[in-house]
């Protein structure tokens, strides 16, 4: 413990506690990271489920529209298009 801190901590009216210098089990951020990790796993599952529910005809239509999109980009000299 730094000397200044020790001197201040020993002044009357200060209550001190023995506390480990590194203690992940007492760090709320460790709990938060665990929650975020689980949330990310849940989100990944939901995204996969949604991806699998996209109808193949939607994907086919999107792929088939690429040539029209390219044509619009060329006609607008690279500006925004209608999609």
Residue 2 lies in a domain: no
DSSP character at residue 80: -
**Domain count of the chain?**
1
Position 42 scores a pLDDT of 96
Domain assignment of residue 1, yes or no = no
Residue 81 resides in a domain: no
Domain hosting 65: range is: 27-76
Phi-psi region of 19 (alpha: psi -120 to 50; beta: other; left: phi over 0): beta
Q: Establish if 21 belongs to a structural domain.
A: no
The pLDDT, as a whole number, for residue 1 is 65
Task: Spell out the per-residue pLDDT of the chain, length 83, in tens.
Answer: 688 887 887 888 877 777 777 777 788 898 899 999 999 999 999 999 999 999 999 999 999 999 999 999 999 999 888 87
82 lies in a domain?
A: no
pTM: 0.50
């Amino acid at each position: 413990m730094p000397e200044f801190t020790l001197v201040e901590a020993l002044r009357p009216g200060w209550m001190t506690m023995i506390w480990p210098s590194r203690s992940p089990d007492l760090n709320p951020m460790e709990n938060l990271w665990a929650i975020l990790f689980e949330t990310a796993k849940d989100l990944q599952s939901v995204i996969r489920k949604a991806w699998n529910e996209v109808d193949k005809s939607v994907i086919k239509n999107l792929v088939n529209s690429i040539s029209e999109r390219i044509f619009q980009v060329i006609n607008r000299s690279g500006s925004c298009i209608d999609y």
